[in-house]
Structure 1
Amino acid sequence: MGALKFKFLFAFVLVFIVAIGSANIAEFDEVWQQRAAMAEKDAEAAYDPYPEQSRNRAVEGRNSTRRSLRGYKGACVATNPIDRCWRCRRDWARNRKRLADCVLGFGRKTTGGKYGRYYVVTDPSDNDMLNPKPGTLRHAVIQPEPLWIIFKGPMVIKLNEELIMTSHKTIDGRGAQVHITGGAGFTLQFVSNIIIHGIYIHDIQQGSGGLIRDSVDHYGFRTMSDGDGISLFGATNVWLDHLSMRNCHDGLIDAIQGSTAITISNCHFTKHNEVMLFGASDSYPKDSIMQITVAFNHFGQGLVQRMPRCRYGFVHVVNNDYTHWLMYAIGGSQHPTIISQGNRFIAPHNLFAKEVTKRDYAPMSVWKNWLWRSENDLMMNGAFFVKSGDPKRMAEFTAKDVITAKPGSYVPRLTRFSGALHCTINKPC
């Protein structure tokens, strides 16, 4: 009888761990329950049920089919409206928080640590998961107040376990050449108002888990982390900008569990299989609240698929440069709305991989009603986008949350300076 009870208890614990395992939380204690409830309220407040009521300012640019990401030595040029808001100013380092006024798209209300003090990371170590050393990045991100986090100088930071952040933080790597590499990645779980800008994230591994401090007054036992570069789990109002990302164990960027009000812009992605996942499960309809803008990014060499792959939600893919993929560029299931505008798609030479789009787990009789639209995209080397849904609904999507696109021929210029920038203090960035 004792053995039977033990087997039942083991089965119960196993089911419980599986149920919450995607959160990497070994025990869903009262603190995390409160955070989850607060995150759900933040997501509901951020969600715009009528994104068609007002128009955003247009994107400007020039027509060009040439691209030169590296080795540029000319005068500072800001080629898209996000960059023109702050770049090419000699005083950018004295007015770093101006960046918070520059986000467009669904994450446009994100201010990060604008209303807090500066925190300077002086120590690249990450040795103590329970009592992080002052001056380290881990110590900075668990503080309760808003912070604008900057770096004393160039750093290579190996995170021993996932970096669990609290709300109202900006991580600003401008002028420091910061690499997060060789260890775990970022976890934005049940938080809001986060900016991550100007850093390199690459060669990310799974964390083994264990006791990890997630705020100044709480720690808990975590299961093994997935190995994402940046994982958004129930996160709201997030802006990821000018990141250079490659080669992570799982995804480069994952946004799941009702994450919403997100902008991913000016990033450079290379050398990865499953690049971005928006919505982790077909059985989680709460991801219908998800609203994400993907703008001015360069999807470069060595990429395979998921740029992004979407379940549920509304994803606006605008003025990105897709120069490489092996399988497909944009995919999805569970009727996401995907609006592709003004992108450049250069198909691979493989005759069986020319299609930009891929739909999973649904017959044509079902997915023909999903709203997937392509407008003013530039298709090259045989690329083609399979549209679906009622084209009359396109007129609805002219919101202040939706960046108005330039034609795809402008994309090489708009994305020319994607990725982490080499900024120098007292010089235009």
Structure 2
Amino acid sequence: MTFTSHISLLFQVFFVAFAATIPAFLASIDADAHIVEFDEFLQKRAENALQASLRAYNPDPEAVTENFNKQVGEALKGGNETRRNLRADSCMATNPIDRCWRCDPDWANNRKRLARCARGFGHHTTGGKDGRYYVVTDPSDDNVEEPKPGTLRHAVIQEEPLWIIFERNMVIRLKQELLINNDKTIDGRGAEVHIAYGAGLTIQFVQNIIIHNIKVHHIVPRSGGMIRDSVLHVGLRTRSDGDGISIFSASHIWIDHVSLSKCTDGLIDAIMASTAITVSNCKFNNHNEVMLLGANDGHTEDTIMQVTVAFNRFGKGLVQRMPRCRWGFFHVVNNDYAQWKMYAIGGSAHPTIISQGNRFKAAPNQFTKEVTKRDYAEKSEWMGWQWRSEGDKFLNGAFFVESGPPLKNSPFTGKNKIQFKPGSYAGRLTRYAGALKCKEGQGC
């Protein structure tokens, strides 16, 4: 038996065993999902979502990280393939995601080009590429059961794929959490769009979502009640937590160029067998618990969680969870970290964390120099978890405690040396993190 066929057989066994847990999975999600009545519509949607996550799971995650590193190297050396895609050699975009679309001065007429640009574990995400444009003209959110046409809530509950854009600058104060349906892109380019001073965005039991170029801040809990999540369904929800963006049992998710700060709970949370996720080019500021990937050590369904965290700026006023991981496989690559107050990267329940090419600058506090934090395990146990650091740059006394086996194919040895750029490049790669100010007729 070849190595490839052996891996394929192991994955098939894993898939069958995991699929057998669906009834228990469905029985366990009611409270965490803020659902009061788990009716037939939601049960079917939850089952479909878990099956989609199982299909999205990649049995060879190391191949995804290696391919990502290769794309970073090509973007920085300005290879011929990158130049052909750009049509503008002087473009200042410095990472492979931005180089895919930002230098096109006609981006406003080629918005769906963005759907080709996801990288990492979320690289198959295309959002609403196959649908029509929907223009949000009204920032109000007055009726969460029967949303008004022209509002963001009316757009995201539609059953068809949609590429959602905004007529003008607006601040949207959500009365209740915004429940987003399958195959949607929320594209804030060309306007300054704030989701603020109300509830946050919820991506639950769905697939294929892009959230791009908006600002999410000052998100607060809401009381819950009857909220429509589809033109086909309205259901009773409990109180929301105050997360900026909540991902629950969802797959093929890409969050890019979003600015997040000052939410009541997490800025981005992904839990309950969510997978195939990329968080890229985002800016995080002024928050305690930044990013939670896996909510509970008892939720073994998160074994299939695979997340790329790339080209983000973790800036001022952050305390912890950048990210905090459980169970799955996490590629944390070419991010810029500035003076966390507790720790930067943490986890429990033996996650695999590959940290590559990040820049970690510790705060002056002598007790917060360590990048990493492991919970709920003795050293004898966590020394078996694979947490590896390659090419990271450490400033002001920062240090990363490694554990587990080394990576099989280091990008810093032999012929592969140019494929991946070390942490000294993190500032350049994250220079344009957060929501961009895009003007029609100019490169974004």
TM-score, normalised via structure 1 length:
0.90
Question: Which of 410, 414, 417 pairs up with 2:432?
Answer: 417
Give runs of aligned pairs for residues 215-254 of structure 1, distance below 5 A: 215-254=230-269
Equivalents in 2 of 1:161, 1:17: separation in Å?
25
Q: Counterpart of 2:115?
A: 100
Q: Are residues 1:39 and 2:37 paired?
A: no
The code of the aligned residue for 2:116 comes to D
Q: 1:85 to 1:392 in 2, by over 3 A?
A: closer
Give runs of aligned pairs for residues 212-361 of structure 1, distance below 5 A: 212-361=227-376
Q: 1:388 to 1:420 in 2, by over 3 A?
A: same
Question: Which of 224, 234, 237 pairs up with 1:209?
Answer: 224
The code of the aligned residue for 2:222 comes to G
Gaps in structure 1 of 5+ consecutive residues: 1-15, 64-74, 397-403
Equivalents in 2 of 1:50, 1:412: separation in Å?
30
Q: Are residues 1:48 and 2:58 paired?
A: yes
Equivalents in 1 of 2:377, 2:63: separation in Å?
32
Equivalents in 2 of 1:132, 1:253: separation in Å?
25
Q: Counterpart of 1:59?
A: 72
Q: 1:425 to 1:409 in 2, by over 3 A?
A: same
Q: 1:340 to 1:18 in 2, by over 3 A?
A: closer
Question: Which of 158, 161, 172 pairs up with 2:187?
Answer: 172
Give, in angstroms, the shift of residue 406 of structure 1: 1.1
Give, in angstroms, the shift of residue 324 of structure 1: 2.5
The 3-state SS of whatever aligns with 1:100 is: helix
Equivalents in 2 of 1:115, 1:392: separation in Å?
38
Q: Counterpart of 1:426?
A: 441
Equivalents in 2 of 1:191, 1:394: separation in Å?
35
Q: 1:338 to 1:281 in 2, by over 3 A?
A: same
Q: Are residues 1:183 and 2:198 paired?
A: yes
Equivalents in 1 of 2:151, 2:286: separation in Å?
29
Equivalents in 1 of 2:432, 2:407: separation in Å?
35
- Contact kept, 8 Å, 2:309 with 2:333, in 1: the verdict is yes
Q: Counterpart of 1:197?
A: 212
The 3-state SS of whatever aligns with 1:21 is: coil
Q: Counterpart of 2:134?
A: 119
- Contact kept, 8 Å, 2:317 with 2:340, in 1: the verdict is yes
Higher share in helix: 2
Give, in angstroms, the shift of residue 58 of structure 1: 3.0
The code of the aligned residue for 1:348 comes to A
Equivalents in 2 of 1:146, 1:261: separation in Å?
19
- Contact kept, 8 Å, 1:318 with 1:405, in 2: the verdict is no
Q: Are residues 1:139 and 2:154 paired?
A: yes
Equivalents in 1 of 2:301, 2:191: separation in Å?
39
The 3-state SS of whatever aligns with 2:143 is: coil
The 3-state SS of whatever aligns with 2:115 is: helix
- Contact kept, 8 Å, 1:370 with 1:389, in 2: the verdict is yes
The code of the aligned residue for 2:181 comes to T
Q: Counterpart of 1:67?
A: none
Percent pairwise identity? 64
Q: Counterpart of 1:21?
A: 31
RMSD over aligned CA atoms reads 2.0
Gaps in structure 2 of 5+ consecutive residues: 1-25, 78-89, 412-418
TM-score, normalised via structure 2 length:
0.87
- Contact kept, 8 Å, 2:212 with 2:258, in 1: the verdict is yes
The code of the aligned residue for 1:59 comes to V
- Contact kept, 8 Å, 2:36 with 2:236, in 1: the verdict is yes
Q: Are residues 1:79 and 2:94 paired?
A: yes
Equivalents in 2 of 1:261, 1:181: separation in Å?
27
Greater displacement, 277-286 / 18-27: 18-27
Q: Deviations over 1:271-318 (max 9, x none)?
A: 000000000000011100000000000000000000000011000000
Give, in angstroms, the shift of residue 258 of structure 1: 0.3
Equivalents in 2 of 1:394, 1:283: separation in Å?
32
Give, in angstroms, the shift of residue 393 of structure 1: 4.2
Q: 1 or 2 for the larger relative contact order (CA 8 Å, sep ≥6)?
A: 1
The code of the aligned residue for 1:114 comes to K
The code of the aligned residue for 1:135 comes to G
Equivalents in 1 of 2:61, 2:235: separation in Å?
39
Q: Are residues 1:368 and 2:383 paired?
A: yes
- Contact kept, 8 Å, 1:62 with 1:413, in 2: the verdict is no
Equivalents in 2 of 1:273, 1:338: separation in Å?
21
Equivalents in 1 of 2:201, 2:255: separation in Å?
12
| 4+ long deviations beyond 3 Å | 16-19, 52-55, 60-63, 392-396
Q: 1:317 to 1:41 in 2, by over 3 A?
A: same
Q: 1:283 to 1:146 in 2, by over 3 A?
A: same
The 3-state SS of whatever aligns with 1:365 is: helix
Q: Deviations over 1:163-194 (max 9, x none)?
A: 00100000000011000000000000010000
Equivalents in 2 of 1:333, 1:81: separation in Å?
31
Give, in angstroms, the shift of residue 76 of structure 1: 5.5
Q: 1:232 to 1:165 in 2, by over 3 A?
A: same
Equivalents in 1 of 2:183, 2:198: separation in Å?
24
Q: Are residues 1:150 and 2:165 paired?
A: yes
Give runs of aligned pairs for residues 373-384 of structure 1, distance below 5 A: 373-384=388-399
Give, in angstroms, the shift of residue 240 of structure 1: 0.1
